[in-house]
């Protein structure tokens, strides 16, 4: 499976609201600016609320941009059953094992996995069902409760070199980090605040993508 992970948006509806925009508007403007893949993350929402957010974004998202659901395989399955165009899920180390997730979502869906230790990366590769891994956090991040300490670029690069799977970096990433991440061998960068909290999500996405391209 060929995925364009260069600029990966992970949403935060609270940040969008504080910036005076709906989740759908933020996603649309970010995609206009160059976001290539979108993950809906709603850590504090009920299943019904999460499903409504996924379906609302799926309704307006261009067909070429994959839409992923964070953690909640039940929400992904419900959205798909409701006819929403959802492409897959991204799970962490505390969710069900990747092999079981793959059985539930099917062979065609995208499966991403957060993996930030040598052992987790080795397991992600060994199981043979993961499409890409997320490695981080690069910097200190406030968008995820109980986030681990920032690892920094040298540590992230060392982890990236341990796995052949496509990999995205995550964790407090801004435009100043993009070129270094690409030069370190990452396939893309996942951002939250840099777009969701930005005054103009389209301009923010453009700046991030231009910085990424400078790292080629």
Which residues are known to be catalytic?
A: 41, 114, 144
CB-based contact 190:181 (threshold 8 Å): no
Check the annotation: does 117 bind a ligand: no
Check the annotation: does 145 bind a ligand: no
Check the annotation: does 71 bind a ligand: yes
CA distances from 130 to 8, 31, 165 (A): 17, 25, 8
Check the annotation: does 108 bind a ligand: no
d(CA 38, CA 174): 17
Check the annotation: does 144 bind a ligand: yes
Check the annotation: does 142 bind a ligand: yes
Could you give the angle at which helices 47-60 and 23-33 cross, rounded to 10 degrees? 40
Check the annotation: does 95 bind a ligand: yes
Q: Which of 175, 213, 210 is nearest to 194 (CA)?
A: 175
d(CA 153, CA 157): 6
d(CA 41, CA 54): 9
Check the annotation: does 202 bind a ligand: no
d(CA 136, CA 47): 26
Strands 188-191 and 167-170: what pairing?
A: parallel
Check the annotation: does 39 bind a ligand: yes
Check the annotation: does 146 bind a ligand: no
Binding-site residues from annotation: 39-43, 70-71, 95, 114, 141-144, 172, 192-193
Binding-site residues from annotation for Mg(2+): 71, 95
């Amino acid at each position: 499976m060929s995925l364009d992970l260069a600029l990966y948006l992970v949403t935060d509806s609270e940040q969008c609201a504080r910036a005076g925009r709906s989740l759908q508007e933020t996603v649309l403007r970010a995609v206009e600016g160059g976001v290539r893949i979108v993950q809906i993350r709603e850590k504090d929402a009920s299943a019904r609320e999460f499903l409504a957010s996924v379906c609302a974004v799926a309704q307006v998202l261009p067909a070429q941009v994959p839409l992923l659901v964070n953690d909640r395989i039940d929400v992904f399955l419900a959205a798909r059953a409701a006819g929403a165009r959802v492409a897959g899920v991204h799970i962490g180390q505390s969710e069900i094992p990747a092999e079981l997730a793959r059985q539930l979502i099917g062979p065609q869906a995208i499966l991403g996995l957060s993996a930030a230790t040598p052992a987790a990366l080795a397991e992600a590769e060994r199981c043979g069902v993961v499409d890409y891994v997320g490695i981080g956090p690069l910097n200190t991040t406030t968008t995820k409760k109980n986030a681990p300490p920032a690892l920094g670029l040298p540590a992230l690069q060392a982890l990236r070199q341990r796995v052949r799977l496509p990999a995205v970096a995550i964790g407090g990433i801004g435009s100043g980090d993009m070129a270094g991440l690409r030069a370190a061998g990452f396939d893309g960068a996942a951002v939250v605040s840099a777009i969701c909290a930005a005054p103009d999500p389209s301009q923010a996405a453009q700046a991030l993508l231009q910085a990424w391209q400078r790292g080629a």
